[in-house]
Structures are given as structure tokens and as C-alpha cells.
């Protein structure tokens, strides 16, 4: 539960010794505590070629258990299925697999993500938030209790201290372009986010990979402290660990590859004796983890992977099955009961814990997301400057090209109005890459049940739309001033241009919802934009369009917008009327308004639908 108050000293991490980790007393009840069991988790890939379909086994059926507060490592050679096993355990695997996972004696339910969190290999945190804000964001959204600001701050500071990053609280997280904290520190921030959410089980994919040995040790030490003090269970995929890192773990699942199979599944402390009994004694010198990996890596000198896999089946498998049976025979608690029990222990009203996969109410989700979005926008000064600069430049270039067009015959100002609409579409294309980049963060956060797709779309589209509208307004004002078209026409022209702008924006957001990458999004948007641009009552009008394609003019937002601008500005001009093939009495203002609003709503709905369905993070 997030109202946990972890009493630690800031220098805990420095003074923390390995033996402390094992002996530090903990009271898991206050923090909530869950156990996990899994039976026969297996994953295969089917592929069809000319000779029919073939199946490649990635991981053979594997079972095991994790007790409350256990530090469990999953190790093995590259490609043996470590991440696959972690993803299946955490419920993050998107591909089909077989086997079962049980939480507290019952099959995983839809509240599983309220008591677990997943720390991915990459640290996906917005660059412009501070370390404190990054952690507070998760804490606030996953919090089960109503805390005031200072309690909240204290709870976040506790977690930062626990992970030894309290002194970084006001530093920006950063990325390749924004100066921020180091890779090892960022790993600890990601772990802090996992813990701040009150997770009882944290799944971590290679939390120490790519770090200096000191950083790797600090990260695993931080996990060990959280595990002992808060009863958090860690299941972590570990690569080539140093002795100091290995020593933090209680248990080990060793897998070999081709295909992925279990070699060992038990206490770390018992592994050496087990390997000795299996005919692979651990040398007295050196890191036992290195030895285990050497001896189970197919192709490595002296490896015994097949013999050890057979040994596992003959000797240890039954014992592991018995552990699974015992775990399933123990007390059975549904996740909602676990959450409510923990709430009660912490002095909260259990009835206030609602059985939804997302802990925060919709209003809280909106508020927290809006706060972050505004903060990020304010801090990204370079981005803001670019937006303003581009808007002004666009206005100046088009304005100069159409200088004094207002004093020319009406028919010649049509291309000016058309360009005004075009500018909106171009400005929108520029923000698509940004939309797609933030989409990855949103998707990962949604997978951790921090907030709903609906809440993120509402906040993201409103903040983006306000900025885009402001930029478009600046461009339009500059263009209009240069054109010297009468200002009395501005509200008509700009009003319709704005509606068109929002419709096209929503169309582009649909594309951004499904496009695999920023560059592909621009390509994918082209056919639709071309359609709008071509069937716009300007290049192709009702007077000139072939009969079989006239319908296009009835669904293109640009066609309706240009018609309304032209009838609004030059309604009684005969030359304009004959060019377009309508007369001023057509007066289809309400129809145009309804078409544009309906398309806007349709695109918005499509975006929500597609974002909910699509899995950008394929596992
Ligand atoms: N959804 C999937 N679709 C296709 N292949 C997959 C999928 N999931 C896993 N694999 C394949 O299964 C194999 C094992 O992958 P996994 O990431 O679990 O291995 P690993 O032991 O974690 O490897 P490494 O240590 O190199 O990260 C790889 O060949 C991977 O490409």
C-alpha cells in the first residue's frame, strides 16, 4: 500500500552490508505480502514455410514458486527464455503461451497489476521531469489512501532514501538530448517507481545490465533493502552478475537454451551442493554464477547442459512440483482481499478500496496527467521556442507570397484561403513524431495500470490542441495582416479554418495511434491528407469533379470548409459562384458544421479504440 512509511536513513544504502539485508527485520503485514506460484509455463513459436508449419520451443514447461519478500534471480545464456518467463509471470507477454500463474493460491485476476509492477530493461521516463516528480507520479496514481501533500512528499522521499537517490530528488531525469542523471541512477529511479506504487511483487528485466559494477551492486542492494524492509518480492532477470550482486539473492532459477529448459530452481545457497551432486562441482575460486553460466551454455567449453537438464528432470522437478502444490494448498486470497486487508492494517477503510484494475479515480488520473503534461510543456523550452518560431515563419512566408491579395479580384484570394487551411495540416504533421514518442511512455504506464487510455487521450489531446491552436492562430493572424483582406472577414475565415484544423488534427492522431514509428506515421498520413487536399472544392470542385467521385466532396472536411469560407466571404460574387458550381442560396452552414463535428468525433473514437487495441510493446 502506498501509505507505507519506510523509516530509513539517507545513508542506509552506503552503510548497508550484505548480512544486514538478510537480517533486517521486516513487518510484511503492514506493507502487504503476496506469494506467487506458476505451473508449466511454456512458450513456442510457430512459423509456416514452404514445407509446412514448424514449431520452435523457446521455453519448455517450467514451474516454481516465489515466497513473500523473496529475492529471486532468473539466469541463463542468451536466448534461453529468461525474459519470456518473466513476461509470462508478470502477465506482460502479449504472444500466446501456455501454463498458469497463481497469486496467493488463486489464478491471477484482473487486479494483479494493482499489487505488482514491471521494471522494463529500458528506463522509459519523460526527460523533463525531476527524480522526485517521476516517483511521485506513480505514487499518486497507485495510492490507495487519501494523503495530504506533505504525507505524500514524505512517502516519496522515503522511497528515494531507500534506494539511495534522495540527493538527486530535484535533478531532471534527462535523456540523450536533455542533461540528466546517470544510467545507474536512472535504473534506481525506475525501481523507485515500482516500489512507490506499493507493489508487493516487482518483476525486473535485467535491472543491472549495462551498469558499472558499483552501480549494479547499488541497484541490487537497493532491491535487497526493499525486499527485507517492505516484504517486496523481486523476480529479476540477471546477466553475468558479480559475486556482490549474486549474494543479494535468495533463490535462483537457472535455464539453459536450445530449447529453454530448467537446470536449477531453488535456494541460491543450495546451488553449489546441487551442482556438485550432479557431477559439476563449483571451483573453490571465482564467481559461482560465472561457473553456472559456463556449464549450462551450449557450445561453451566443458558445458554439460543436456546432462544437467536431465538431472533436473530426475532429481529436482518433483520437489519443485511439491513446492507449487504446497503454495496452492496454502491460504487463498483474492487480490481485492489482499488490498483490503493491507488497507485495514494501515488504518484505512477497506470499503474504500474499489475492485478496478486502476487504483486512481478517473478525476485523479486526469489531474495527475494534466499536471505532468503542463510541467513537461513548460520545461521543454526548446520545443516551445521551435513551435513559436515555426508558426511565425510560416505566417511570414505565406503572408509575403499573398501580400495585398485582398485588393485583387475575389477569385484570386481563393488560393490564399486554401493556403491558410494547408498551414494547419502542415503544422500538425510536425507534431506527429512527438505524439508517437510519448505514446510509448503512455503505453508502458497504462500496462502498469497507472491510468486509462481515455484519461491519457483527453489530457494529451487537450494540451496538444491548445498549443497547436495557439500556433495556428499566430500563423493565421500574420498571414491575414499581410493579405490585407478586410478584418471583418477574419472571424468567418478563421472560425472555419479552426474547425477544419481540429478535424485534420484528429485524423492525424488516428494515424499516430497505429503507426509503428515517427517516420512511418508521416508516410501513413499522406493518402488521407492527399484526399482532403485534392477534394477541397478548390482543385476539384462540384463543377469539375467527375460524377463517380463527387461523393468525395461530401466527406472531405476541406471541401466543406472552403465552401463555407467562400460563401461567407464572397457569397454573392457571380464569378466565384460559377467557379464552384453553387449559388449563395445553398447556405449549407449547419450541414457543414455537422459533418465537421461528426468527423471530429469519429476520429476521436477511432483513436481511443485503436490505442486500446494496439500493442506497441510486443512481448
Ligand atoms: N513474442 C515473440 N515473438 C517472436 N519471438 C519471440 C517472442 N518472444 C520471445 N521470442 C524469442 O524467444 C527467444 C528467447 O527470448 P528471450 O528474450 O526470452 O531470451 P533471453 O533469455 O531473455 O535472452 P537475452 O539474455 O539475450 O535477453 C528469442 O529468440 C526471442 O526472439
- pLDDT (average), residues 107-111: 92
Taking the centre of ligand 1 as the mean of its atom positions, its distance from the CA of residue 84, in whole angstroms, is: 6
pLDDT at 352 over 50: yes
Distance, in Å, from the CA atom of 245 to the CA atom of 238, rounded to the nearest integer, reads: 9
Compute, in angstroms, the gap from residue 157 CA to the centroid of ligand 1: 37
Q: Is residue 282 part of a domain?
A: yes
Distance 82 CA to ligand 1 centre (A): 8
- Rounded CA-CA distance 266/3 in Å is 33
Q: How far is the CA of 240 from the centre of ligand 1 (A)?
A: 18
- Among 313, 347, 381, identify where a domain stops: 347
- Cα–Cα distance between 36 and 106 in angstroms, integer? 9
Residue 585 has pLDDT above 70, yes or no: no
**In which band, very low, low, confident or very high, does the pLDDT at 18 lie, cut at 50, 70 and 90?**
very low
Q: What is the CATH number of the domain that holds 122?
A: 3.40.50.300
User: Measuring CA to CA, which residue among 52, 57, 27 is closest to residue 42?
Assistant: 57
Q: Cβ–Cβ contacts within 10 Å for residue 393, how many?
A: 12
Helix (H) or strand (E) holding 36: strand 36-49
Percent of the chain scored above 90 by pLDDT?
37
Q: Whose CA is nearest to atom 23 of ligand 1?
A: 79
Closest-CA residue, ligand 1 atom 4, reads: 45
- If we measure between CA atoms, which residue out of 30, 21, 74 comes closest to residue 224? 21
Nearest CA residue ID for atom 27, ligand 1: 78
415 — pLDDT class (breaks 50, 70, 90): confident
- What is the 50 CA–ligand 1 centroid distance (Å)? 24
CB within 8 A of 354, min separation 6: which ones?
Answer: none
Are 324 and 366 part of one and the same domain? no
Is residue 541 a contact partner of residue 580, using CB atoms and an 8 Å limit? Answer: yes
Rounded to the nearest angstrom, the gap between the alpha carbon of residue 204 and the centroid of all alpha carbons in its chain is 16
Q: Ligand 1, atom 25: nearest CA belongs to which residue? A: 78
Residue 438 has pLDDT above 80, yes or no: no
405 and 325 share a domain?
Answer: no
Single residue among 347, 376, 405 that ends a domain in this structure: 347
CA of 252 to the centre of ligand 1 (A): 20
Looking at the fold, whether 502 and 539 belong to one and the same domain comes out as yes
**For atom 12 of ligand 1, which residue has the closest CA?**
58
The answer to the question of residue 56 being in a domain is yes
Is-contact 592 563, C-beta < 8 A?
yes
Q: How far is Cα 233 from Cα 501, in angstroms, rounded to an integer?
A: 50
For ligand 1, residues with CB inside 6 Å are 45, 58, 76, 78-84, 95, 619
pLDDT over 60 at 574, yes or no? yes
For the segment 315-350, what is each residue's pLDDT rounded down to a tens digit? 999 999 999 999 999 889 999 998 888 888 777 788
The C-alpha atoms of residue 440 and residue 611 are separated, in whole angstroms, by 11
Q: Is residue 79 part of a domain?
A: yes
Instruction: Count CB atoms within 10 A of the CB of residue 25.
Output: 6
In a domain, 619, yes or no: no
Residue 3 lies in a domain: no
395 and 274 in one domain? no
The answer on 251 and 299 residing in a single domain is yes
| Distance of alpha carbon 5 from alpha carbon 159, whole angstroms | 9
| SS3 state at 394 | helix
- Listed in sequence order, the residues at least 6 apart from 370 whose beta carbon sits closer than 8 Å to its beta carbon are 459, 462, 463
Q: Which residue, by CA, sits nearest to atom 7 of ligand 1?
A: 619
Distance 42 CA to ligand 1 centre (A): 12
Positive or negative CA dihedral for 352, 353, 357, 361?
A: positive
The predicted complex's ipTM stands at 0.97
> Is 24 part of any domain?
yes
Q: Specify the number of domains making up the chain.
A: 2
**pLDDT over 50 at 13, yes or no:** no
pLDDT higher at 286 or 323? 323
Nearest atom within ligand 1 for CA of residue 87: 18
Question: pLDDT higher for 410 or 131?
Answer: 131
Full DSSP string of 44-77: EEEEEETTEEEEEEEEEEEEEEE-TT-EEEEE-S
Q: What is the DSSP string of 167-232?
A: GGTTSB---SSS----HHHHHHHHHHHHHHTT-SEEEEESTTTTS-HHHHHHHHHHHHHHHHHH--
Q: How close is the Cα of 241 to the center of ligand 1, in Å?
A: 20
Confidence of residue 451 (pLDDT cuts 50, 70, 90): very high
The C-alpha atoms of residue 258 and residue 97 are separated, in whole angstroms, by 18
Q: Is the pLDDT of residue 10 over 60?
A: no
Q: What is the SS3 string spanning 228-287?
A: HHHCCEEEEECCCCCHHHHCCCCEEEEEECCCEEEEEEEEHHHHHHHHHHCCCCCCCCCC
- Pair 312, 458 in one domain: no
Looking from the CA of residue 205, the nearest atom of ligand 1 is 22
Q: 340 with 390, same domain?
A: no
Closest Cα to atom 9 of ligand 1? 84
- 305-309 contacts at long range (C-beta below 8 A, 24 or more positions apart): 305/256, 305/257, 305/263, 307/278, 307/279, 308/256, 308/263, 308/264, 308/275, 308/278, 308/280, 309/256, 309/261, 309/262, 309/263
Indicate which atom in ligand 1 lies nearest the CA of residue 239. 25
The answer on pLDDT for 373 being more than 50 is yes
Same structural domain, 241 and 316: yes
Q: Which residues pair with 89 in a beta bridge?
A: none
Locate the ligand 1 atom nearest the alpha carbon of residue 76 and give its number: 21
Tell whether the model's pLDDT for residue 400 goes beyond 90. yes
For residues 257 and 124, membership in a common domain is answered with: yes
First CA to last CA across the chain, in angstroms?
A: 28
Query: Distance (Å, rounded) from C-alpha 32 to C-alpha 68?
Result: 9
Q: Please tell me the predicted confidence (pLDDT) of residue 138.
A: 92
Helix (H) or strand (E) holding 340: helix 335-345
Residues 296 and 372 in one domain: no
Best probe residue, ligand 1, of 48, 58, 235 (max atoms within 8 Å of C-beta): 58
- In this prediction, residue 586 has a pLDDT band, given cuts at 50, 70 and 90, of low
Any alpha helices (H) in 448-489, and if so which ranges?
Answer: 453-483
Atom of ligand 1 nearest to the CA of 81: 18
123 CA → ligand 1 middle, Å: 19
Q: What is the pLDDT of residue 4?
A: 40
How far, rounded to the nearest angstrom, does the alpha carbon of residue 172 sit from its chain's CA centroid?
Answer: 19
Distance, CA of 267 to CA of 246 (rounded, Å): 12
CA pseudo-torsion sign 332, 334, 338, 341: negative
**pLDDT-based confidence at 31, cuts 50/70/90?**
low
Give the integer Cα–Cα distance in Å for 513 and 593. 26
Predicted confidence (pLDDT) at residue 512 exceeds the cutoff of 60: yes
Q: Are residue 379 and residue 239 in the same domain, yes or no?
A: no
Q: Helix, strand or coil for residue 320?
A: helix
Q: Is the confidence at residue 24, as pLDDT, over 50? A: no
Whose Cα sits closest to atom 5 in ligand 1? 45
DSSP string, 499-549: HHHHHHHHHHHHHHHH-SSHHHHHHHHHHHHHHHHHSSSSSS-TTTS-GGG
Number of H helices, E strands in the chain: 25, 10
Q: Which residues make Cβ contacts (< 8 Å) with residue 382, sequence separation at least 6?
A: none
| 343 and 366 assigned to the same domain | no
Q: How far apart are CA 39 and CA 58, in angstroms?
A: 16
Residue 367's contacts (CB-CB under 8 Å, 6 or more residues apart) are none
Pick from 267-276, 345-354, 464-473, 551-560: least confident: 345-354
Instruction: Give the per-residue pLDDT at 535.
Output: 85
Residue 177 has pLDDT above 60, yes or no: yes
Please state, in angstroms and as integers, the Cα–Cα distance from residue 532 to each residue in 419, 422, 503, 519, 528, following that order: 13, 10, 11, 21, 6
Q: Is the pLDDT at 1 greater than 80, yes or no?
A: no
Choose the residue to mutate in 60, 79, 618 for probing ligand 1, maximizing ligand atoms within 8 Å of C-beta. 79
Question: Residue 85 CA: which ligand 1 atom is closest?
Answer: 18
Q: Residue 363: is its pLDDT beyond 70? A: yes
> Is the pLDDT score of 25 beyond 60?
no
Q: Is the pLDDT assigned to residue 21 strictly greater than 60?
A: no
> What gap in Å lies between CA 500 and CA 162, rounded to an integer?
52
Highest mean pLDDT range out of 184-193, 315-324, 353-362?
Answer: 315-324
Pocket test for ligand 1, best of 42, 45, 241 (most atoms within 8 A of CB): 45
Tell whether 1 is covered by a domain. no
Any domain includes 5: no
Q: Which residue CA neighbors atom 16 of ligand 1 most closely?
A: 81
What is the pTM assigned to this prediction? Answer: 0.81
Which range has the worst mean pLDDT, 294-303, 524-533, 565-574?
565-574
179, HSE (Cβ side, Cα atoms, 13 Å): 0
- CA 83 to ligand 1 center in whole angstroms: 7
Q: Domain residues for 80?
A: 12-347
Find the 58 Cα to ligand 1 centroid distance in Å: 7
417 close to 537: Cβ distance less than 8 angstroms: no
Amino acid at each position: 500500500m502506498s501509505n507505507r512509511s519506510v523509516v530509513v536513513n539517507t545513508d542506509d544504502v552506503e552503510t548497508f552490508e550484505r548480512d544486514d539485508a538478510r537480517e533486517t527485520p521486516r513487518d510484511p503485514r503492514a506493507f502487504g505480502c503476496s506469494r506467487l506460484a506458476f505451473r508449466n509455463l511454456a512458450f513456442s513459436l510457430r512459423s509456416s514455410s514452404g514445407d509446412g508449419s514448424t514449431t520452435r520451443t523457446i521455453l519448455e514447461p517450467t514451474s516454481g514458486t516465489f515466497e513473500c519478500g523473496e529475492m529471486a534471480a532468473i539466469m541463463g545464456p542468451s536466448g534461453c527464455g529468461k525474459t519470456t518467463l518473466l513476461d509470462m509471470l508478470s502477465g506482460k507477454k502479449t504472444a500466446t503461451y501456455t501454463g498458469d500463474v497463481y497469486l496467493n493460491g488463486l489464478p491471477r485476476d484482473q487486479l494483479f497489476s494493482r499489487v505488482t509492477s514491471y521494471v522494463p530493461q529500458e528506463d522509459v521516463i519523460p526527460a523533463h521531469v525531476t527524480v522526485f516528480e517521476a516517483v511521485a507520479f506513480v505514487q499518486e496514481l497507485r495510492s490507495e489512501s487519501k494523503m495530504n501533500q506533505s504525507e505524500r512528499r514524505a512517502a516519496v522521499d522515503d522511497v528515494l532514501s531507500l534506494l539511495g537517490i534522495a540527493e538527486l530528488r530535484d535533478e531532471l531525469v534527462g535523456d540523450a538530448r536533455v542533461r540528466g542523471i546517470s544510467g545507474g541512477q536512472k535504473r534506481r529511479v525506475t525501481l523507485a517507481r515500482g516500489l512507490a506504487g506499493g507493489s508487493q511483487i516487482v518483476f525486473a528485466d535485467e535491472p543491472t545490465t549495462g551498469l558499472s559494477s558499483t552501480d549494479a551492486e547499488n541497484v541490487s542492494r537497493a532491491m535487497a533493502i526493499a525486499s527485507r524492509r517492505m516484504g517486496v518480492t523481486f523476480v529479476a532477470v540477471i546477466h553475468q552478475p558479480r559475486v556482490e550482486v549474486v549474494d543479494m539473492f535468495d533463490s535462483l532459477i537457472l535455464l539453459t537454451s536450445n530449447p529453454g529448459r530448467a537446470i536449477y530452481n531453488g535456494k541460491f545457497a543450495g546451488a553449489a551442493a546441487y551442482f556438485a551432486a550432479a557431477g559439476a562441482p563449483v571451483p573453490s575460486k571465482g564467481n559461482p554464477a560465472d561457473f553456472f553460466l559456463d556449464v549450462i551454455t551450449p557450445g561453451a567449453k566443458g558445458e554439460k547442459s543436456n546432462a544437467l537438464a536431465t538431472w533436473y528432470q530426475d532429481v529436482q522437478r518433483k520437489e519443485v512440483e511439491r513446492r507449487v502444490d504446497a503454495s496452492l494448498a496454502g491460504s487463498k486470497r483474492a487480490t481485492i482481499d489482499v488490498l483490503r486487508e493491507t488497507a485495514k492494517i494501515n488504518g484505512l477503510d477497506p470499503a474504500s478500496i474499489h475492485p478496478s484494475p486502476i487504483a486512481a479515480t478517473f478525476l485523479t488520473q486526469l489531474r495527475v496527467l494534466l499536471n505532468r503534461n503542463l510541467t513537461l510543456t513548460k520545461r521543454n523550452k526548446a520545443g516551445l521556442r521551435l513551435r513559436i518560431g515555426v508558426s511565425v515563419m510560416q505566417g511570414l512566408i505565406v503572408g509575403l507570397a499573398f501580400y495585398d491579395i485582398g485588393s485583387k479580384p475575389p477569385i484570386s484570394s481563393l488560393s490564399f484561403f486554401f493556403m491558410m487551411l494547408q498551414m494547419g495540416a502542415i503544422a500538425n504533421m510536425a507534431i506527429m513524431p512527438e505524439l508517437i514518442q510519448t505514446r510509448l511512455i503512455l503505453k508502458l504506464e497504462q500496462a502498469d495500470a497507472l491510468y486509462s487510455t481515455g484519461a491519457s487521450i483527453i489530457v494529451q489531446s487537450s494540451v496538444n490542441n491548445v498549443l497547436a491552436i495557439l500556433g495556428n492562430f499566430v500563423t493565421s493572424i500574420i498571414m491575414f495582416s499581410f493579405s490585407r483582406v478586410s478584418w471583418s472577414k477574419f472571424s468567418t475565415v478563421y472560425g472555419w479554418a479552426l474547425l477544419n484544423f481540429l478535424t485534420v488534427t484528429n485524423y492525424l492522431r488516428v494515424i499516430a495511434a497505429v503507426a509503428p514509428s515517427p517516420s512511418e506515421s508521416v508516410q501513413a498520413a499522406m493518402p488521407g491528407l492527399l484526399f482532403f487536399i485534392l477534394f477541397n472544392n478548390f482543385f476539384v470542385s462540384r463543377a469539375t469533379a467527375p460524377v463517380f467521385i463527387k461523393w468525395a466532396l461530401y466527406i472531405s472536411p476541406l471541401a466543406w470548409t472552403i465552401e463555407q469560407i467562400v460563401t461567407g466571404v464572397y457569397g454573392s460574387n457571380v464569378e466565384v459562384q460559377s467557379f464552384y458550381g453553387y449559388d449563395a442560396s445553398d447556405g449549407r452552414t449547419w450541414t457543414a458544421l455537422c459533418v465537421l463535428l461528426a468527423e471530429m468525433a469519429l476520429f476521436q473514437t477511432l483513436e481511443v479504440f485503436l490505442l486500446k487495441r494496439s500493442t506497441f510493446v510486443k512481448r
